[in-house]
Structure 1
């Protein structure tokens, strides 16, 4: 029979807990165990050190290969709960000007994870009074509050957690700042409830060390999200509703990726030239970052400037855009369609267009037939500024619908592009009689796995 070695957790008279190690060896006489001789040792400090090292290693390893902020904070919270706390929440803060914190402000609760499976709701939380949460931001130091079960003192709870603290019989809460680029970018709150021993200063120190171990990944994710927020604001500012054009219905849509935090360089534009014809453009700059969004805005505005008063074919205008793309986008790539609608005296609308490496325009007839306008396809913008570009002309039927779109509407990873195009063609044909706004909205609901941004602009022609 071998030795016996066991670590147990005991509750002391004062309500605290200690870890003890029981070790014993048997005394054998005549082949039988007649007694055990053992020791009883307090190993609380040793156990805490091993636990601390394990959690720090887990916090660093768990967040190492993640990109988005949501992934990083969720994984970190999964490490904190239940090993360190029963509930954990992460609050993303606005960017305060200088060191001043003006009340009220809104903190975004990114995630809440609880051992019970019923965490406080996520979402924006308004902070309109001085409380511990604000003190953590001002002092950049953690705060620990310990109290009777379900009786937190006023102002001690994270935003929106007061009722939750009472209902779960919370007994302690700790809040710690996350500092990025010299400013408090987030606050992490952790708590214990019920009969579990309360959080103590060593636990708060461990929480801070866990955040420090994951700091590089948290910082990168937060910087990335802020960059994407700026890019999205830029896109929303540029991609406004199209103008009113007599005789035409025009609708446009932009939707950020449903499966990614990234922001791309998709754009659309529509404006009316002095001669009354409508110009339509759609394009996509390669990349998913602020640089792509900025380049998108430059190319879009440059193209508008080149096309606003020129009567030359669209291909000739895109040829001049090649030079601008080379200067603005370097080795990057961009796709584009430039088109203008004309209605001569005969009353029949025609589309003059040039395609630069972009998915083809789609025409839907009022009878419910849909086909792609397979004009000459030119290389990507910026491929060769000395190369000539061709233009195509298509006659458009009365009450027909013209759709320009970016590849996010048809591309599915691992699937041939032809399948996505055919899905779009069939879906558009079935919506031929829908109002134009419904037509666009329903296309965004096609059964596909979107991994890219989607931009589209649709035009419905009048009857004869």
Structure 2
């Protein structure tokens, strides 16, 4: 059942109710025209009542993430208006000053006494944080029904929009403190069946403050203890708690920690509920109020149970995602090659998965010695960001190795063979690749011969700090269905030169064009030319990415350095 189906199909909206709610509320008629907007909505949308009432809600407010008008056929909120069905969602809205704001919304049809089919829209800000001045004000009584529904809808939206369990818990705390309670405590059962107090947070002068000294590992859960937290961590029903509950002789170590918690926080009342996943109990959520507020009641227990059900599903999904991701990363790391030991050459390689994609992708590197004694080098990227891409990468890599070992042909001919067979023998549709070989000349220098199938160009850095991209030998990517003539290039590398092969995740991101990334990579590589190869590789991986941001895509990088030799010059020959 969807969250929309759980929201009552009709919400009664007595006259003046929107102004009494502590939330941003607009009422829209059957034509989609705004008929009223309370003061909270006016502040959130940056428009006064005169700028809202009588205007078409969709035409004035609804936008896509780029600020462009949104077609009514694509608008889930308009769909809810017309169908007169309850629905929740997140969307972009244009404020009075032209700026965009992303808001969570709950649409609930009203049951007015007139003949008009009005609909109530409750807006909330999904990015509300501890540093905001518009945190919900603390109240002593249970939430009104509409505000309760809005809170549950916002909880569902926020918790299901992240697969990071720590972020999900931070969002949960921001939603309930201080709206419901002054304190929020989360105890989690780890995959090793140990208990950890992951969060202790309270509201202080309008800000959320973590009490880290109260967090950390907890004693084990006793199987027979009747104490509320122990029962909750075993999956028992939610319970109302007071400081007197833990004033008697403690029956376990976890009860001692609860005594310490109540003494340190000064909570006058609390409610504890289990956080249940699909199969197991994941932990427990404790909400506490200080003594100057009205105690929590059975009505609050019902709301707490609704919140923990949503939290349990979100944490269960996050843990499943993390387990799958760990398996995928482990598989890919085992599939990536061990670098060979080649006398006279230094080599290093790194692989960094994207932290926010569903799973690992098809980025890969390879280096191996072939039958004629040369050293083959490869860097590639199979289209996709999932286990299929990782499996396809392994297939392409194996085929490339087989062709290189059995066919004593130049790199361009090997890649041509791979292109002709890849789509027939693997599930890979498209891929990019740089493939080449390194051979020692009779003069004692090292010559690189390579071909490029639609991949970012290799970067060469000389020992004196000059860096340039090797743009020769470039051709179409693999899997186009065409039969392009594969070009190749040759270059005798200078002594103590560093060659960098990399995938596009190192130089391209959602907010940075690849040309800017290539320029940054060249500058950082030049500045690191004198560093030992291992340090060079690690620092380049760290510095070439956007400052303060995580990589959007997987990154593979293979570096190679030639030995020192006097009076050697780099001479490039291109076919």
How far apart are the structure 1 equivalents of 2:554 and 2:341?
25
Residue 174 (str. 1) matches residue 248 (str. 2)? no
The match for 2:558 among 443, 457, 460 is 457
In structure 2, the gaps of 5 or more residues are 1-16, 21-139, 223-227, 566-575
- Name the SS of the counterpart of 1:428 in structure 2: helix
Offset of residue 272 of structure 1: 2.4
CA shift in 2, pair 1:396/1:54, >3 Å: same
Does the 8 Å contact 1:342/1:349 carry over to 2? yes
Q: Tell me which residue corresponds to 2:149.
A: 53
The match for 2:380 among 283, 295, 305 is 283
The match for 1:79 among 156, 175, 189 is 175
Q: TM-score, normalised by structure 2?
A: 0.61
Does the 8 Å contact 1:120/1:161 carry over to 2? no
CA shift in 2, pair 1:416/1:301, >3 Å: same
How far apart are the structure 2 equivalents of 1:392 and 1:109?
60
CA shift in 2, pair 1:353/1:144, >3 Å: farther
Number of residues of Structure 1 aligned to a counterpart in Structure 2: 413
Q: Tell me which residue corresponds to 2:543.
A: 445
Q: Tell me which residue corresponds to 2:286.
A: 190
Q: Which moved more, 1:349-358 or 1:258-267?
A: 258-267
Does the 8 Å contact 1:272/1:279 carry over to 2? yes
Q: Tell me which residue corresponds to 1:115.
A: 203
What pairs up with 1:11-90 in 2 under 5 angstroms? 49-50=145-146, 52-63=148-159, 65-66=161-162, 68-88=164-184
Q: Tell me which residue corresponds to 2:490.
A: 393
Q: TM-score, normalised by structure 1?
A: 0.74
CA shift in 2, pair 1:381/1:462, >3 Å: same
Does the 8 Å contact 2:379/2:434 carry over to 1? yes
How far apart are the structure 1 equivalents of 2:491 and 2:240?
71
In structure 1, the gaps of 5 or more residues are 8-43, 96-103
- Name the SS of the counterpart of 1:329 in structure 2: coil
Cα RMSD for the two superposed structures: 4.0
Q: Which has the higher contact order (CA 8 A, sep 6+)?
A: 1
Residue 130 (str. 1) matches residue 242 (str. 2)? no
How far apart are the structure 2 equivalents of 1:314 and 1:282?
13
How far apart are the structure 2 equivalents of 1:364 and 1:60?
51
Q: Deviations over 1:132-178 (max 9, x none)?
A: 77765654765665434986956585999886554223554524223
CA shift in 2, pair 1:345/1:233, >3 Å: same
The match for 2:340 among 232, 238, 243 is 243
How far apart are the structure 1 equivalents of 2:337 and 2:260?
42
- Name the SS of the counterpart of 1:295 in structure 2: helix
Q: Tell me which residue corresponds to 2:3.
A: none
Q: Deviations over 1:323-371 (max 9, x none)?
A: 235543354x322222221113221211122222110111111121111
